[in-house]
Structure 1
Amino acid sequence: MPSPVMIVGAGPGAPDLMTLRAARAVEAAEVLVWTDSLVSPTIAALAPEGCERIRTSTLTLEEVLEVVVQRARDGRRVVRLHDGDPCLYGALQEQICRLADAGLAVEVVPGISAYQATAAALGRELTIPGVVQTIVLSRAGGRTGVPERESLERLAALRASLCLYLSARHVEEVQAELLRHYPADTPVAIGYRVSWPDQWLTVVPLREMAAVSRERQLIRTTLYVVSPALASAGEARSRLYSADHHHLFRGGAD
């Protein structure tokens, strides 16, 4: 029986931000099918000498899956390498269904996502007690659209920590909608290729989000994190670590 096809998250870009499981999968690959337009070549280079490396930037999803199925049926260890986490905007469901139809098992290896790498690079928490306790991951509608119940208008009304992928091409419309709900001085982290050698990361007021994006000519591999947590003064404290908070491992104050 063929080995499971590994669908592996490469993380945000830096090789040392891969999980151990992801790195080991790449290092053992006999066929590496990788998103070369989004995954760092230093990660693809972790594959062993003699591994067949197949770039997917010029292929349709159907063509990618045809290659994966063929190589897996030949009994080779196939790693399908995605940027970030394959469970986020990675066409994961379509791939799993096609591979299941071909009688192939699948193992998914998660990866650190760009929003996590961005928060870490800034040294900021996105869930500050008394300020914001919810993180929303979404995207602008664009050509593929989003369900009406998940429209940016509805999500922005929460005024949560809002992480927007795949939205740089529509930044003017995004900013206009966000300004209807968030104060104009709400901090927005703009991250381009976070954790790559050419990373660019800044925090600007919401009112400047579109202008800065256009000035930098950002179109792709860009993440926006809109959050009041980025302006928190740091005085808020989690109740979990309060001396009077009882839990299983620590008694509270008398």
Structure 2
Amino acid sequence: MTVYFIGAGPGDPELITVKGQRLIRSCPVIIYAGSLVPAAVLEGHRAEQVVNSAELHLEQIVELIKTAHANGQDVARVHSGDPSLYGAIGEQIRYLRELDIPFEIIPGVTATAACAALLGAELTLPDVSQSVILTRYADKTAMPAGEELGSLAQHGATMAIHLGVNHLEKILAELLPHYGADCPIAVIHRATWPDQDWVVGTLEDIAQKVQAKGFRRTALILVGRVLGSDHFSESSLYRAGHAHLYRP
């Protein structure tokens, strides 16, 4: 018996790995995050038990897994995006280790990757930014020391900010001194879902654009010079005259 933490991707049911889809269709027990995982992701399943974890607390989820373990049933524990990012799987894994229940993590497409694809953007450009910071706004859960947005913004790297659209004005105030008012920024609502929508602007004007759209939740903020720059060097990888293992 194994518990499979499966990344279902950002919303589009086709953005799931072949392995993840195969496990969903074969596991006798499915526990899925129904608030963020569309029902279409579960199509084709033959599970004996399907439970929406959005209606449960942690201990109830663990009890379901314990029962499945006692019955020798594999569990597809389905999370949105990639389960290793804001998936709250760490607390579940801690219980599983204490109970000596085997588990495996199946990666998924992140919301950040989906938003970059929607915008037609590369998040790492030579001379512009070679780092991507994935972070969140400090709301219900405080950020560890040194991970405040203002501290991270000092790097000037491409940044993906989760769970912050309702606090956009405060976020902009922390970013402005480091990125500048003309820095490109995008706010993407429910990327890859049928009702996906987005706005692109600068740190100076994005707040009004987001207000006009009415985005209130399930939105990702992407900020960085990579979003608006055509001025960058070509990569060494494909540069004529640059030799490497496959192109002597």
Instruction: Give the shorter-chain TM-score range.
Output: over 0.9
CA deviations 1:117-162 (Å, max 9, x no partner) are 1111121101111111110000111120111211111111111110
Aligned residue number for residue 208 of structure 1: 205
SS in 2 for 1:181: helix
**TM-score, length-scaled by structure 1:** 0.93
Correspondent of 2:35 among 1, 15, 37: 37
Distance, in Å, in 1 between the alignment partners of 2:207 and 2:62 is 37
Q: How many residues align?
A: 248
Quote the sequence identity (%): 37
Q: Does 1:193 align with 2:219?
A: no
Aligned residue number for residue 21 of structure 1: 19
Q: Does 1:75 align with 2:69?
A: no
CA change 1:69–1:169 in 2 (3 A) is: farther
Q: Does 1:176 align with 2:189?
A: no
Distance, in Å, in 2 between the alignment partners of 1:68 and 1:213 is 41
Distance, in Å, in 1 between the alignment partners of 2:119 and 2:44 is 28
Q: Does 1:105 align with 2:122?
A: no
User: Gaps spanning 5+ residues in structure 1: where?
Assistant: none
Runs of 4+ with >6 A deviation:
none
Conserved? CA contact 2:199–2:210, under 8 Å:
no
After TM superposition, the structure 1 stretch with the greater mean CA deviation from structure 2, 206-215 or 141-150, is 206-215
Aligned residue number for residue 59 of structure 1: 56
Correspondent of 2:115 among 109, 114, 118: 118
**TM-score, length-scaled by structure 2:** 0.95
User: Displacement, 1:235?
Assistant: 5.4
CA change 1:218–1:51 in 2 (3 A) is: farther
Aligned residue number for residue 10 of structure 1: 8
User: Displacement, 1:56?
Assistant: 1.4
Aligned residue number for residue 226 of structure 1: 223
- CA-based RMSD: 1.5
CA change 1:215–1:58 in 2 (3 A) is: farther
User: Displacement, 1:209?
Assistant: 2.8
